[in-house]
Amino acid sequence: MSQVIQKCGCRELSEVEKYALLEDVIEEYEGKESNLIQILHMSQAIFGFLPHEVQNFIAEKMDLPISKVSGVVTFYSFFSTKPKGEYTVRVCLGTACYVRGGKKILEKLKEHLGIDVGETTKDSKFTLEVMRCLGACGLAPVISINGKVYKRVNANKVHHILDKYNKGGV
Amino acid sequence: MINLTINNKKICVKEETTILEAAKQNNILIPSLCYLEGVHKLGSCRVCVVEVEGAKNLQASCITPVSEGMVIRTNSDRVRRARKVLYELMLSDHPRDCLQCSRNQSCELQKLGELIQIEESRFEGEKSKDFTDATSPSIIRDNSKCILCRRCVTVCNEVQGVGILNSQFRGFATEISPSPELPLGSASCTYCGQCTTVCPVGALKEKDSTKTIWQALLDPDKTVIVQTAPAIRVALGEEFGCQPGTIVTGKMVSALKEMGFDYVFDTNFTADLTIMEEGTELLGRIVGSLHAGKVISNEQLEKTGFKPSDNVPVLPMITSCSPGWIKYIEHYYPEGISHLSTCKSPHMMLGALCKSYFAERINVAPKDMFVVSVMPCTAKKFEITRPEMVNNGVPNVDAVITTRELAKMIKDAGIHFMALPEGKTDHPLGLSSGAADIFGATGGVMEAALRTVYEIITGRELPFDKLHVLPIQGLERIKTAELTILEAKKEWAFLNGVTLKVATTSGFRGASILMDDIRKGESPYHFIEVMGCPGGCISGGGQPRPTNDEVRKKRIQAIYAEDEGKRLRKSHENPDIKSIYDEYLGKPLGHKSHELLHTTYTKRSKF
Ligand code: SF4
Ligand code: SF4
Ligand code: SF4
């Protein structure tokens, strides 16, 4: 990871400080178009997500059209233009998980969280996403929460997993 | 040279030719869609696939170069099936309301369907992007019709170097836009409309202004005046089946009269007027900077008719007739706006004169006039909304339609265009010189200005064959010329030996190169002509489709033919220009001129 990113705990930074940091990142990558994806990764690490204003700032500093920056941001699913919750719940919809009930898990999660795919709960706790095959087909169906994988999930008991996070984390 | 076989025919083509080009050169037809000669070859639609012996997959012929001994089939069963499936997939996400579509009969998707004989559509599916962006005053984006060919992306990014349109999202959700949160009306778009001229379908088009014009024509209390730009008369005929480059000036005037316009004037008249104003402004800037640099005395300055001033004038001066260019410089080089001539564009000048000089003459209140401009341009639709384009509380021009819209109106009116007699424009804002005609082609404003400025300084005609400054004509990106002043008139004698340096460019790519030089303080020029669209107004964003270099050249030829066919070739010799100064305006850059014919610019941001 970049030097500049390592020295900070971004969540506590003010907006002004975040933009200053972003400027350092762009400078570190010499503002080159070929480094745009890396720069966007860093920006997402700093801001948590990539709203239009941040994309505009990057476009201006790198002298790129905003349509190009947003083209890249919207192309890759790991960039988000909306704020993310504290926990990102991802449901695998790869073939194995799908046939073993992944779809049902997703429905249940939507119901429990009261949100659709790509959305975040009002209390900013959970973001719901789907993923393609994780390569853990033997453990299907799986979900992951902030990277931690839960195997052989039972759709009817999936709320127990959420409860742990609601109680203040694992 | 490379030898290959297409459909059992042995052919020989230059290296680096693509299969599609090789076929075309040998009269072999390969249906294609997104490919646009000289502009766009990306292989994005894959309709042009062919079978290449030895290759596992079908190859997109527009991006595959030929190689020695290649054996190609363009019409095998596999190829025919593949392109039909591709076509039907496109149709499955398309509204298919051809009968009420603006592109009906001029749609490339429709034509392709006929060419490859589509008679069924086996796939039905969800529609991906059913929304229209109508936020721009010039251009409408109907996303439901977009087939994602990306021609507009290439034109906006590569040809124009602006980069407003790009592909957003991926897969089924893909859309072409400035960004999901930025409608065209809020983007730093120049409204040049070049994207609308390449769109094969009804997804990008000008914003309709014909309805308000029909309304005005029906209103008995309105005096409705129309004017046409120099580039209309050499392109309008194409909408009625004429070859590119056919001149239809007289029929166009007759059609306008038949549609019910009370007066048919000519933007060419104010093109001549622009030369008087802009030429004088140029001379003023040149002598002003010589005066500021203490090269000439107060007395010498005053003999040329200019007054000493504390402001050091800015050079090079740059033309201001192209509103797409104006919006471009305001967004992308805002610090450079002092280089712009303060002249309004010719049709704005004509509008302003209609609602002052002419209104007085015919005793009609300016508010009861409705001025329509027929322009080759989409940016002019935006231009008339600028707050500066108002005098005495009424807008200079009330509506702008493109050449394409005029053709629609003529058809709507049930007029048999080709059978019309040759009409004549009305007085007093209708007569023009050949110098005005050439405004429509890149390099034309410069040549017209030189014809007049050189004669003011030396008293002699511009020393070029038929008055044509050939080095600044044509489709190259940047063209330059130098003109050394010798044997100037007495009051201009201090210019003897001075070399006037000029440059002309069309399209924003060239403009940005010239502006970067200015930014660095390295521009050697006195005067620069910039037109927003490649080739100038003859291929403006509102001109008939298609526009390629061949069509551009034909329209340019027609423009010069129109010029050479006139007895009057120089703006300052137009007798009606002389009278309007005598009767009304006084002199170029005088008080009335400033009020009616000149304008200011706004710094805008790039993001
Ligand atoms: S864009 Fe072409 S194919 Fe589509 S509805 Fe219009 S005319 Fe028909
Ligand atoms: S009008 Fe010109 S600048 Fe605007 S999107 Fe179209 S091509 Fe680009
Ligand atoms: S808007 Fe027109 S030119 Fe642009 S991608 Fe869509 S169909 Fe092609």
Residue A31 CB partners (closer than 8 Å, separation 6+):
A61, A62, A63
Question: B142 to chain A nearest CA, in Å?
Answer: 18
Q: Taking a C-beta distance cutoff of 8 angstroms, is the pair B607, A67 a contact?
A: no
CATH number of the domain bearing residue B200: 3.30.70.20
Q: Taking a C-beta distance cutoff of 8 angstroms, is the pair B506, B479 a contact?
A: no
The protein residue whose alpha carbon is closest to atom 2 in ligand 2 is B192
Whether pLDDT at A46 is above 80? yes
Whether pLDDT at A134 is above 90? no
Res B123: pLDDT: 87
Q: Taking a C-beta distance cutoff of 8 angstroms, is the pair B540, B533 a contact?
A: yes
- Is there a domain that residue B40 lies in? yes
Test A68 with B163 for CB contact under 8 angstroms: yes
The Å distance, Cα B88 to ligand 2 centre, comes to: 30
Q: Three-state DSSP class for B143?
A: helix
Residue B135 CB partners (closer than 8 Å, separation 6+):
B183, B184, B185, B186
Whole-angstrom distance, CA of residue B361 vs CA of residue B359: 5
User: Tokens at residue A141, please?
Assistant: 């169906």
Which residue of A55, A65, A81 is in closest CB contact with B166? A65
Q: Angle, to 10 degrees, between the axis of helix B346-353 and the axis of helix B267-292?
A: 110
The protein residue whose alpha carbon is closest to atom 7 in ligand 3 is B146
Residue A92 φ/ψ, nearest 5 degrees: -80, 130
CA triple B352-B354-B360, angle to 5 deg: 115
- Which H or E run contains B402? strand B399-402
Q: What is the pLDDT of residues B322-359, one digit of tens each?
A: 999 999 999 999 999 999 999 999 999 999 999 999 99
Q: Which residues pair with B340 in a beta bridge?
A: B318
Write the single-letter amino acid at B207.
K
Q: Among residues of chain A, what percentage have pLDDT more than 90? A: 62
Test A65 with B162 for CB contact under 8 angstroms: yes
Q: In what order do the strands lie in the sheet with A126-131?
A: A126-131, A87-92, A143-145, A148-150
Q: Which residues pair with B527 in a beta bridge?
A: B317, B502
Its domain, for residue B444, covers 270-345+432-541+563-597
Question: A116 to chain B nearest CA, in Å?
Answer: 17
Instruction: Tell me if chain A has a CB within 8 Å of the CB of B162.
Output: yes
What ligand is nearest to the CA atom of residue B90?
Answer: 1
Res A12: pLDDT: 72
The Å distance, Cα A5 to ligand 2 centre, comes to: 38
User: Tokens at residue A109, please?
Assistant: 């999660």
Test B179 with A64 for CB contact under 8 angstroms: no
For residues B341 and B281, state if they share a domain. yes
Chain A 23-82, CB below 8 Å of chain B: which residues? 52, 55-56, 59-60, 64-71, 74-75, 81
For residues B153 and B60, state if they share a domain. no
User: Tokens at residue A107, please?
Assistant: 């429905």
* The residue count for chain B: 607
pLDDT level of residue A86 (50, 70, 90 thresholds):
confident
User: Minimal CA–CA distance to A126: which of A90, A92, A93?
Assistant: A90
- Is there a domain that residue B198 lies in? yes
Q: What is the DSSP letter of B357?
A: I
Q: What is the pLDDT of residues B494-534, one digit of tens each?
A: 999 999 999 999 999 999 999 999 999 999 999 999 999 99
The residues of B annotated with a catalytic role in the active site are 278, 281, 321, 341, 380, 383, 388, 537
The protein residue whose alpha carbon is closest to atom 4 in ligand 1 is B96
For residues B140 and B106, state if they share a domain. no
Q: Taking a C-beta distance cutoff of 8 angstroms, is the pair B174, B148 a contact?
A: yes
Res A1: pLDDT: 43
User: Minimal CA–CA distance to B537: which of B305, B284, B267, B313?
Assistant: B267
The Å distance, Cα B289 to ligand 1 centre, comes to: 56
Whole-angstrom distance, CA of residue B324 vs CA of residue B192: 5
What's the total number of domains in chain B? Answer: 3
Mean pLDDT score, A95-121: 91
Res A31: pLDDT: 87
For residues B472 and B336, state if they share a domain. yes
Res A168: pLDDT: 60
Which of B83, B115, B147 is the last residue before a domain boundary? B115
Atom number, ligand 2, closest to the C-alpha of residue B379: 1
Tell me which chain A residue has its CA closest to the CA of residue B168.
Answer: A71
For residues B199 and B88, state if they share a domain. no
Residues with pLDDT less than 50, chain B: none
CATH number of the domain bearing residue B502: 3.40.950.10
Biggest CA-to-CA distance, chain A: 51
The Å distance, Cα B268 to ligand 3 centre, comes to: 34
> Which value does ipTM take for this structure?
0.85
Atom number, ligand 2, closest to the C-alpha of residue B193: 1
For residues B535 and B460, state if they share a domain. yes
Mean pLDDT score, A46-59: 94
Res A42: pLDDT: 94
Res A3: pLDDT: 47
- Is there a domain that residue B325 lies in? yes
Whether pLDDT at A2 is above 50? no
Handedness of CA A51, A52, A54, A59 (dihedral sign): positive
Give the HSE-up count for residue A82: Cα atoms under 13 Å, Cβ half-sphere.
15
pLDDT level of residue A8 (50, 70, 90 thresholds):
very low
Whole-angstrom distance, CA of residue A70 vs CA of residue A50: 9
Region of A126 (left: φ > 0; alpha: ψ -120 to 50; beta: rest) is beta
Instruction: Tell me if chain A has a CB within 8 Å of the CB of B171.
Output: no
Whether pLDDT at A7 is above 50? no
For residues B158 and B109, state if they share a domain. no
Q: Could you please report the per-residue DSSP string of chain A?
A: --HHHHT--GGG--HHHHHHHHHHHHHHTTT-GGGHHHHHHHHHHHHSS--HHHHHHHHHHHT--HHHHHHHHHHSTT--SS---SEEEEEE-SHHHIIIIIHHHHHHHHHHHT--TT-B-TTS-EEEEEES--S-GGG-S-EEETTEEE-S--GGGHHHHHHHHHTT--
Whole-angstrom distance, CA of residue B279 vs CA of residue B463: 18
Test B180 with A64 for CB contact under 8 angstroms: no
Whether pLDDT at A9 is above 70? no
Which of B84, B115, B146 is the last residue before a domain boundary? B115
More confident residue, B384 or A7: B384
CATH number of the domain bearing residue B79: 3.10.20.740
Question: A162 to chain B nearest CA, in Å?
Answer: 30
Test A68 with B166 for CB contact under 8 angstroms: yes
Question: B607 to chain A nearest CA, in Å?
Answer: 7
Q: Could you please report the per-residue DSSP string of B460-500?
A: S--SSGGG--GGG-SSSSEEEEEEE--S--GGGGGGTTPEE
Tell me which chain B residue has its CA closest to the CA of residue A56.
Answer: B607
Q: Which domains does chain A have, with CATH numbers?
A: 2-75 (no CATH), 87-166 (3.40.30.10)
Instruction: Tell me if chain A has a CB within 8 Å of the CB of B152.
Output: no
Tell me which chain A residue has its CA closest to the CA of residue B332.
Answer: A63
What ligand is nearest to the CA atom of residue B199?
Answer: 3
